[in-house]
Amino acid sequence: MQGGELRQDDLEPVGLDWSNLKKVKPREMLVRFIFGAAVALLAAVVGSLAGPKVGGLFLAFPAILPASLTLIEKKEGITKAWSDASGGLLGSVGMAAFAATAMLLLRVNPILALVAALAAWLLVSVGLYLFFRVTGLFLRSDRLFRQSP
């Protein structure tokens, strides 16, 4: 894994480039659909058999990540796959914000709760990303986990 490649990628401007979608193969999306549907089913079945709280655990199960990371490694190399997982780490903090917001607001207004929960996920994930990017914390945190310099 190349530290230079990692830093170079980090310097790219943040944004969405919809033209990248032309490279996405329908088969890759089908795999993600199947995994997503399977986890939703699993959460529902476990919830009815073992209780809703146990079912809820599977709402934060990383079912898609192995497929995503493997595809990224195959197409763009191990550094990009590592980088994607590193972003997932910040996204999982956002996921906690999503769950906490939903938990607190569901009884007040369920529609508002889900909209606010999604906003909380976006705010916390993107906020953390920008904080790490601006302060250079990515470089420090990378040193903790990376094997190569």
Instruction: Name the DSSP letter for residue 64.
Output: S
Let me know if 98 is exposed, middle or buried by CB neighbors in 10 A (0-12, 13-18, 19+): buried
The answer to the question of residue 114 lying near another protein (CB under 8 A) is yes
Q: Report the nearest approach of another protein to the CB of residue 94 (Å).
A: 7
Q: Report the nearest approach of another protein to the CB of residue 130 (Å).
A: 9
Residue closer to another protein, measured from CB, 4 or 13: 13
Cα–Cα distance, 14 to 43 (Å, whole number): 34
Tokens of 70: 């493997």
Tokens of 46: 């476990």
Q: Report the nearest approach of another protein to the CB of residue 113 (Å).
A: 8
The answer to the question of residue 149 lying near another protein (CB under 8 A) is no
The answer to the question of residue 116 lying near another protein (CB under 8 A) is no
With CA atoms as reference, report the closest residue to 63 among 33, 91, 93, 97.
33
Residue closer to another protein, measured from CB, 52 or 136: 52
Cα–Cα distance, 61 to 44 (Å, whole number): 13
Q: Which parts of 40-99 interact with another protein (CB under 8 A)?
A: 40-41, 43-45, 47-48, 51-66, 68-70, 72-73, 76, 78, 80-96, 98-99
Q: Which parts of 19-38 interact with another protein (CB under 8 A)?
A: 19-21, 23-24, 29, 32-38
Cα–Cα distance, 91 to 87 (Å, whole number): 6
Contacts of 136 (CB under 8 A, 6+ apart): none
Number of residues this chain uses to bind another protein (CB under 8 A):
93
